[in-house]
């Protein structure tokens, strides 16, 4: 019997697409993870090097921890229209919404609250990027998908356009017979590798973050190497290319077409006006506009940096005067100069 039967309805009501559970083990890809860090593929994301003892053994969070529940939630922007204010700048699908660190965490906390009622003497802890947990790895172990060539977790029915949350618990959820992880259905397909504009995806299902558009437009505080930035394809925040070209996501993308703001509405006039808005707004104004969305993570400087790169990529001559205002900017002058150069090449 499913030991989570009492919360199964709640999980579905909350919009999770699928879930699984198992006993805590050393993460299946622990050695790969260490190798990835040693290869320096994490760039400036130093937090990935910390708390390794917790990552390796989740019992270090709480000694009574024995099991882990993994849950997948589809990006909400694929299911319903969101109030995301930028309709033309290309923003990753997960980010065209309020920040999942809040809404997904809240949903996980409601499950934890119910579980606490049912098991008052047990321990439950929810995490979505809030604890040093290898979320993909445990979700793979819990059969939420296979690890795709693009390193995303892919499910045969749900594709990969979903977020992950995990609940660590002292309740023993070990399966009487350990189930094998889902088989890898990537086959010979290399579309994600072939279509990645910056060749960030290796042949061993790992991403070199230092080449990944998502890393440079979301995580990094620095300016990307200009040679690399020239390949960003006008993407403003995050990148979904390695997922949107994946055959396993085509059905989901088709089904959600009515909600995909930017694929439908983007036009040059709208794009120019949004880029102007980003470049000419103060930090306070941008915070007000984007409050609660993942974009605030990049900060004023990061968003302006991203806007300058979009202008250079798309050769938007009309914005040359707006770019010139940044030639004296302490941190953005190099990018502004490069951007004007790119514009003058047209």
Name the residue among 320, 346, 341, 309 with its Cα closest to residue 228.
309
Nearest CA-CA partner of 206 in 150, 134, 139: 150
Instruction: Identify which of residues 164 and 332 has a Cβ nearer to ligand B12 in the complex.
Output: 164
Counting contacts by CB under 6 A, is residue 45 touching ligand B12?
Answer: yes
Nearer to ligand B12, 224 or 238 (CB): 238
For ligand B12, which residue of 22, 67, 96, 128 counts as binding (CB under 6 A)? Answer: 128
CB count in 10 Å sphere of residue 15? 14
Backbone angle region of 187, left / alpha / beta, with phi > 0 → left and psi within -120 to 50 → alpha: left
x/- string (CB under 6 A) for ligand B12, residues 200-219?
Answer: -----xxx-x--x-xx--xx
Smallest gap, in angstroms, from Cβ of residue 98 to ligand B12?
15
Nearest distance in Å: CB 137, ligand B12: 5
Q: Applying CB under 6 A, does 303 fall inside the site for ligand B12?
A: no
Asked if residue 34 binds ligand B12 (CB under 6 A), the reply is: no
Q: Cβ of residue 154: shortest distance to ligand B12, in angstroms?
A: 7
d(CA 187, CA 222): 37
In the window 14-33, what residues touch ligand B12 (CB under 6 A)?
A: 28-29, 32-33
Interface positions, 226-265, toward ligand B12 (CB under 6 A): 238-240, 242
99 as an active site residue: the answer is: no
Smallest gap from residue 217 Cβ to ligand B12 (A): 8
Query: Scanning the structure block, which residue is given the tokens 């707004």?
Result: 281
Options 159-167, 171-179, 254-262, 271-279: segment touching ligand B12 (CB under 6 A): 159-167
Contact 339, 323 (CB under 8 A): yes
> Read out DSSP for 144-188?
S-EE-TTSSEEBTTTBT-EEEEEEEESS----SSPPPPPP---TT
Exposed, middle or buried: residue 31 (CB in 10 Å: 0-12, 13-18, 19+)? exposed
Catalytic residue among 31, 97, 129, 172: 129
What three-state secondary structure class fits 124?
Answer: strand
**Active centre residues (catalytic):** 129
Footprint of ligand B12 (CB under 6 A): 28-29, 32-33, 36, 45, 48, 92, 94, 128-129, 133-137, 140, 147, 150-153, 160, 162-164, 205-207, 209, 212, 214-215, 218-219, 238-240, 242
């Amino acid at each position: 019997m499913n030991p989570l039967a009492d919360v199964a309805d709640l999980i579905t009501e909350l919009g999770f697409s699928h879930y699984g559970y198992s006993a805590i083990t050393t993460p299946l890809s622990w050695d790969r993870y260490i190798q990835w860090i040693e290869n320096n593929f994490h760039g400036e994301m130093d937090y990935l090097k910390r708390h390794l003892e917790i990552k390796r053994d989740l019992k270090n969070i709480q000694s009574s921890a024995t099991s882990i529940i993994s849950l997948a939630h589809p990006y909400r922007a694929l299911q319903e229209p969101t109030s995301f204010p930028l309709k033309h700048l290309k923003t990753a699908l997960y980010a065209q919404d309020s920040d999942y660190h809040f809404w997904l965490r809240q949903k996980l906390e409601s499950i934890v609250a119910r579980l606490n009622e049912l098991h008052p003497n047990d321990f439950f802890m929810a995490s979505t990027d809030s604890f040093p947990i290898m979320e993909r790895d445990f979700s793979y172990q819990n059969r939420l998908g296979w690890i795709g060539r693009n390193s995303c977790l892919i499910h045969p029915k749900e594709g990969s356009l979903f977020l992950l949350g995990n609940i660590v618990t002292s309740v023993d959820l070990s399966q009487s017979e350990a189930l094998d992880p889902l088989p890898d259905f990537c086959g010979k397909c290399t579309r994600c590798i072939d279509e990645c504009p910056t060749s960030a995806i290796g042949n061993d299902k790992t991403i070199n973050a230092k080449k990944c558009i998502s890393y440079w437009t979301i995580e990094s505080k620095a300016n990307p190497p200009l040679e690399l930035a020239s390949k960003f394809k006008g993407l403003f925040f995050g990148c979904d290319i390695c997922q949107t070209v994946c055959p396993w996501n085509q059905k989901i993308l088709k089904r959600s077409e009515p909600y995909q703001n930017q694929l439908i509405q983007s036009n040059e006039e709208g794009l120019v006006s949004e880029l102007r808005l980003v470049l000419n707004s103060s930090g306070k104004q941008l915070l007000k506009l984007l409050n609660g969305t993942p974009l605030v993570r990049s900060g004023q400087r990061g968003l302006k940096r991203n806007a300058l790169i979009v202008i250079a990529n798309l050769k938007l001559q009309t914005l040359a005067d707006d770019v010139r205002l940044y030639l004296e900017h302490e941190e953005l002058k190099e990018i502004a100069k490069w951007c004007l150069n790119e514009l003058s090449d047209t």
